[in-house]
C-alpha cells in the first residue's frame, strides 16, 4: 500500500494502531466482497489529522473513509442525505456509524479538475442552495444524527475562544459585543437554519454530468445559517476568477430565497454570514484525532482572528 501523509508527517491517526488497522481492512474487504469489487492496483492510503482514506483501484474506484471522533456523525449523515436528497450527494455502499466508517463510490471528476468559468460556480451554488432549502425540515433530524449545532453563534464563539492564546483571547473578547450585534442583525432576517457544509470548495464537489454537481465530504458540517457556506466557496472562486465574480455568485446563490425576501436584504445577509462564518471554520479545526489537536491550533486562531478584519 502507498501511504500519503501530506503536510502532516507526524500526525497520529488510528492507522498506527495495528488492531484498528486490521479491523478497518477486514471490514473493507468484507464490504468489497459483497459488491464483487476486486483491486486492480495497490491501495493508496491518505492519512490526515482528521481522517483516514483508502482508495481502492477497481473498474471504478471505491473509497473507504474513517473520520475523527468529533466528525463521527459523517457516515450517518451521508446515509441520511442519500435518502433525503439523492440527486445532490453520494450514496454510500456501506457505513459503520458506530466506528465512523463509510465506503463510498466514485462520483466522477472533481470540480477543480475542470476548466472553470463563473457559470460553473453559479450552477454549483444554485444547486447547493436547493439542497440546503430541501433540508430545512430536517434540522432536528440532523442534530439527532450528531451534526454539530451552530445555530447560536455567540455560544459557539465562547466555546472556541478559550482555546486560543491569551493575547488573541483578549482581542477577541473585546470584539464580542460587536459579534453579538452582528449575530442579532443576521437572525432578524428570519432565514431558517439548515445544513452548512462549512468547507465548500472545488475539491469537495464532483461533476456528476453536464451542469450537474454532487456534494461530499461532510466532516466539517454543522447545522446553522445556510449563507455561512458562502465564505469558502466564494473565496475559492474569487481566487480562480478574480474578485469581480463575488457579487454575481452571491446573487446566484441567494436567488432561491428571493420569493420570500428582497434581494437587497439577501445581499446584506450574505455579507453578514460571510463575516461571521470564520466561527464555524474555527470550530471544525477542533475535529481532529486524539493526540493531534495541537495541529489545528494555529488554523483555529487564524480563523477566529479573521472576525476582526
Q: Which residues 6+ apart lie within 8 Å of 210 measured at CB?
A: none
Residue 207: which pLDDT band, with cuts at 50, 70 and 90?
very high
Mean pLDDT confidence for 178-182: 98
Q: Which pLDDT belongs to residue 218?
A: 98
Distance CA 220, CA 287 (A): 8
Residue 199: which pLDDT band, with cuts at 50, 70 and 90?
very high
Determine which helix (DSSP H) or strand (DSSP E) holds 145, and give its type and residue range: none
SS3 call for 61:
coil
Mean pLDDT confidence for 85-94: 96
Q: Residues 209-241: pLDDT tens digits?
A: 999 999 999 999 999 999 999 999 999 999 999
Distance CA 157, CA 151 (A): 11
What is the DSSP annotation of 226-247? GGGGHHHHHHHHHHHH-TTHHH
Neighbour tally for 209: CB within 10 Å = 8
SS3 call for 76:
helix
Distance CA 204, CA 146 (A): 21
Q: Residues 116-151: pLDDT tens digits?
A: 899 999 999 999 999 999 999 999 999 999 999 999
Q: Which residues are paired to 110 by β-bridges?
A: 206
Q: Residues 242-272: pLDDT tens digits?
A: 999 999 999 999 999 999 999 999 999 999 9
Residue 90 grid cell: 453520494
Distance CA 309, CA 302 (A): 11
Given a cut of 90, whether residue 50 has pLDDT beyond it is yes
Distance CA 113, CA 115 (A): 7
What percent of the chain stands above pLDDT 90? 95
Q: Which pLDDT belongs to residue 116?
A: 86
Q: Which pLDDT belongs to residue 234?
A: 96
Given a cut of 90, whether residue 160 has pLDDT beyond it is yes
Contact 281, 228 (CB under 8 A): no
Contact 232, 201 (CB under 8 A): yes
Distance CA 39, CA 154 (A): 49
Contact 303, 281 (CB under 8 A): yes
Q: Which pLDDT belongs to residue 216?
A: 97
Mean pLDDT confidence for 171-192: 97
Burial 61-73 (b: 16+ CB within 10 A, else e): bbbbbbbbebbbb
Given a cut of 90, whether residue 309 has pLDDT beyond it is no
Q: Which pLDDT belongs to residue 79?
A: 98
Given a cut of 80, whether residue 181 has pLDDT beyond it is yes
Q: Residues 90-106: pLDDT tens digits?
A: 999 999 999 999 999 99
Average model confidence (pLDDT) across the chain? 96
Q: Tell whether the torsion through CA atoms of 41, 72, 229 and 272 is positive or negative.
A: negative
Q: Which pLDDT belongs to residue 293?
A: 77
Q: Which pLDDT belongs to residue 294?
A: 86
Q: Which residues 6+ apart lie within 8 Å of 108 measured at CB?
A: 206, 207, 208, 209, 214
Mean pLDDT confidence for 270-279: 97
Q: Which pLDDT belongs to residue 1?
A: 87
Nearest to 270, CA basis, from 236, 233, 223: 233
Which residue in the block uniquely carries the three cell numbers 494502531?
A: 17
Find the distance separating the first CA and the last CA of the chain, reported in whole Å: 45
Amino acid at each position: 500500500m502507498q501511504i500519503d501523509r501530506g503536510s502532516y508527517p507526524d500526525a497520529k491517526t488510528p492507522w498506527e494502531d495495528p488492531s484498528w488497522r486490521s479491523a478497518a481492512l477486514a471490514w473493507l474487504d468484507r464490504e468489497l466482497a459483497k459488491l464483487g469489487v476486486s483491486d486492480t492496483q495497490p491501495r493508496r492510503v491518505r492519512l490526515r489529522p482528521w481522517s483516514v482514506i483508502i482508495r481502492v483501484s477497481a473498474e471504478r474506484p471505491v473509497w473507504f473513509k474513517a473520520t475523527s471522533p468529533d466528525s463521527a456523525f459523517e457516515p450517518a449523515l451521508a446515509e441520511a442525505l442519500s435518502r433525503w436528497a439523492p440527486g445532490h450527494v453520494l450514496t454510500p455502499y456501506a457505513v459503520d456509524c458506530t466506528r465512523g466508517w463509510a465506503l463510498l463510490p466514485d462520483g466522477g471528476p472533481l470540480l477543480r479538475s475542470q476548466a472553470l468559468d463563473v457559470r460553473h460556480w453559479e450552477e454549483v451554488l444554485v444547486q447547493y442552495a436547493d439542497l440546503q432549502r430541501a433540508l430545512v425540515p430536517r434540522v432536528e433530524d440532523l442534530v439527532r444524527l450528531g451534526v454539530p449545532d451552530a445555530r447560536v453563534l455567540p455560544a459557539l464563539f465562547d466555546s472556541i475562544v478559550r482555546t486560543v492564546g491569551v493575547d488573541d483571547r483578549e482581542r477577541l473578547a473585546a470584539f464580542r459585543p460587536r459579534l453579538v450585534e452582528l449575530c442579532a442583525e443576521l437572525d432578524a432576517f428570519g432565514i431558517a437554519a439548515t445544513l452548512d457544509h462549512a468547507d465548500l470548495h472545488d475539491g469537495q464537489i464532483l461533476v456528476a454530468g453536464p451542469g450537474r454537481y454532487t456534494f461530499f465530504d461532510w466532516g466539517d458540517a454543522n447545522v446553522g445559517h445556510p449563507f455561512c457556506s458562502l465564505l469558502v466557496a466564494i473565496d475559492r472562486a474569487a481566487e480562480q476568477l478574480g474578485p469581480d465574480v463575488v457579487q454575481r455568485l452571491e446573487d446566484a446563490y441567494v436567488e432561491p430565497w428571493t420569493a420570500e425576501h428582497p434581494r437587497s436584504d439577501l445581499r446584506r445577509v450574505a455579507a453578514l454570514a460571510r463575516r461571521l462564518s470564520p466561527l464555524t471554520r474555527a470550530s471544525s479545526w477542533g475535529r481532529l484525532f486524539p493526540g493531534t489537536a495541537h495541529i489545528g491550533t494555529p488554523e483555529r486562531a487564524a480563523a477566529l482572528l479573521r472576525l476582526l478584519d
